[in-house]
Amino acid sequence: MNSVWFLVFLPLIAFLIGISFMGIGTRIVARIQRRYGPPLIQPFIDVIKLLSKDSISYGWVFDMGVWMALAGAALVVYFVPFADNIVLSGKADVVVLMYILAIAPLGMALGTAQAKNPYASIGISRALMLMLGYDLPLVMVILGIITYTGSASFADILSAQQGGIGNWYIFRLPLFAIVYFWVMIAEMGKHPFDVLIAPSEIASGPMVEFSGKYLGYLFIYMALHYYAACALFVNFFMGGAATFIEFYLKMFSVFFVLICISAVMARTTTQRAVYMYWTKPVVLAFIGWLAYLGWRIF
């Protein structure tokens, strides 16, 4: 599957996977709430409808923002191993990934800044502050994995987890897995950390002035982001996958647990969320550092 066509269509495949997650996720939430939900392909229909509507723009920075959001999200997809393909790899995958993950939110933030709407500005400031909060435990986990494996490339991390289910990092480094999962909820913007969207407080936050194809682009960005977050968890902690079906099922299991947790929790405020992220997961990750890496961290 390592042909050029695969490389070209990888973002499309990732987009479809992400859309399927969004659709199944809405349906699961609906069932939890004792009702039927929308059809499984509803998010896909939403995206097509949005791309076919009229749209308005506030200037060239607004346009550039959505281009950056889409391109940045698709760029991340190229650096996350897909099933048995480590797509674009090198010796410092994980570090580059941490930087690339920042491009798409920056694009969306620039676009919303030119929309000049205070709701959007509040939403983006909350999103950035939440990012400051969850980046601390996230980088602790990433550094822990890099030091434990001894290398920052995905090839090494995946090969260290081969040889049976007991070798998966989720069983060898459980504290890291818990902290990473905790951080993933905020990264994907789901309850209880979706303060940046907050529909009734700040009128959907950053997306308040997006319409038509701009909103469609943001939806595509969200779908790609769902894919990237779940795929990263699978690659870091569940040993990657050998076939596409196995990959999809593993990602879906992660997403399922996430959805079940997020469907039953309410939204927290930014200050509380950031304070929480700076204390509890950090303590857990620190214990993980001491337990798995020993005293050589100082």
Partner 1 sequence: MMLLDMIKADNLAFFFSVLTIGFFVANTIFLIFSGIKKGIVLNTILSLFLTMVLLMLYATHNIVIFFALWEMATWLTYLLANNPKKSSKYLWASLLAEFFMLIAVARTVAYGSYDIAMVAHVDPLNLIMFCLPFIVKSGILPFNFWVTDLYTGSDKRFVAYLSAIIGKLGIFGILRVFLLSPGLIPEWFIYTFIYLAGITAVWATFKAVGSEDAIESLSFSSLSQVAFIFASVLLMNKSALIGGLVHYLNHMLIKMGMFMAVVYIWAKTGTTEFKRLGDFVSKMPFSFLFFLMLGISLAGVPPMGGVISKWFMYEGFIEESKLLAVLLFFVAGVGSFLYVYRLLHSIFLGRKKPSIGLVSEMNILAILPLAASALISFLIGVYSRPFIRFAAKALGMDFSEPRTDIGFAYIGIVSAVFGALILFAVVLWLLLPKHRYVPDTEGYTAAAYLPKDIQHWDYSYNFYAPVVRLGDKFVRLFSLDWLARFWKEYIAAIGELFRGIYSGSLKLYGFYLMSVIVLVLFLKEMLK
Partner 2 sequence: MAECPTNMEVAKENNSILRAFADWARKNSIWLLHYCTGCGAIELPPTMTARFDMTRYGFAPMATPRQADVLLITGYLSLKTLKRVIWSYELMQAPKYVIGFGSCTMNGGHYWDSYITINRLSDYIPVDIYIAGCMPRPEAVLTGMLEIKERIKKKLPGGWLDYEKRYDWYKENQRKILSDV
Handedness of CA 12, 14, 15, 19 (dihedral sign): positive
Q: Which two tokens stand for residue 118?
A: 């205070």
Q: What is the number of other CB atoms lying within 10 angstroms of the CB of residue 105?
A: 21
Handedness of CA 147, 153, 156, 157 (dihedral sign): positive
Nearer to partner 2, 53 or 280 (CB): 53
Q: Roughly what angle, to the nearest 10 degrees, separates helices 244-263 and 212-237?
A: 110
Per partner kind, with CB cut-offs from 5 to 8 A, the member of partner 1, partner 2, none near residue 163 is none
Is 24 an interacting residue with respect to partner 2 (CB under 8 A)?
A: no
Per partner kind, with CB cut-offs from 5 to 8 A, the member of partner 1, partner 2, none near residue 48 is partner 2
Closest separation in Å from C-beta 18 to partner 2: 17
Closest separation in Å from C-beta 185 to partner 1: 18
Which residue is associated with the tokens 């676009």?
111
Chosen residue from 13, 40, 106, 263 binding partner 1 by CB under 8 A:
106
* Residues in contact with partner 1, shown as a per-residue x/- string from 57 to 96 under the rule CB under 8 A: xxxxx-x--xxx-xxx-xx--x---------x-xxx--xx
What is the identity of the amino acid at 233? F
What is the identity of the amino acid at 189? G
Pairwise CA distance, residues 169 & 147, whole Å: 13
Using DSSP, state whether 41 is helix, strand or coil: coil
Chosen residue from 139, 265, 287, 291 binding partner 1 by CB under 8 A:
139
Nearer to partner 1, 23 or 209 (CB): 209
Per partner kind, with CB cut-offs from 5 to 8 A, the member of partner 1, partner 2, none near residue 110 is partner 1
Per partner kind, with CB cut-offs from 5 to 8 A, the member of partner 1, partner 2, none near residue 95 is partner 1
Q: Quick one: which segment of 122-130, 229-237, 240-248, 257-265 binds partner 1 (CB under 8 A)? A: 122-130
Q: Please report, as residue ranges, which positions from 45 to 64 form the binding site for partner 2 (by CB under 8 A).
A: 45-46, 48-49, 52-56
Is 296 an interacting residue with respect to partner 2 (CB under 8 A)?
A: no
Query: 34-43 long-range contacts, Cβ below 8 Å, gap at least 24?
Result: 43/19, 43/219, 43/223
Element spanning 179, H or E: helix 174-187
Per partner kind, with CB cut-offs from 5 to 8 A, the member of partner 2, partner 1, none near residue 207 is partner 2
Is 131 an interacting residue with respect to partner 1 (CB under 8 A)?
A: yes
Pairwise CA distance, residues 58 & 116, whole Å: 9
Is 270 an interacting residue with respect to partner 1 (CB under 8 A)?
A: yes
Residue 167 CA from chain centroid, whole number: 25
Chosen residue from 24, 29, 30, 129 binding partner 1 by CB under 8 A:
129
Residue 213 CA from chain centroid, whole number: 22
Q: Please report, as residue ranges, which positions from 201 to 260 form the binding site for partner 2 (by CB under 8 A).
A: 203-204, 207-212, 215
Q: Please report, as residue ranges, which positions from 195 to 254 form the binding site for partner 1 (by CB under 8 A).
A: 203, 208-209, 212-214, 216-217
Pairwise CA distance, residues 218 & 90, whole Å: 29
Per partner kind, with CB cut-offs from 5 to 8 A, the member of partner 2, partner 1, none near residue 28 is none
Pairwise CA distance, residues 133 & 136, whole Å: 6
User: Would you say how long the chain is, in residues?
Assistant: 298
Q: Which two tokens stand for residue 105?
A: 């939110």
Which positions touch partner 2 (CB under 8 A)? 26, 30, 33-39, 42, 45-46, 48-49, 52-56, 199-200, 203-204, 207-212, 215
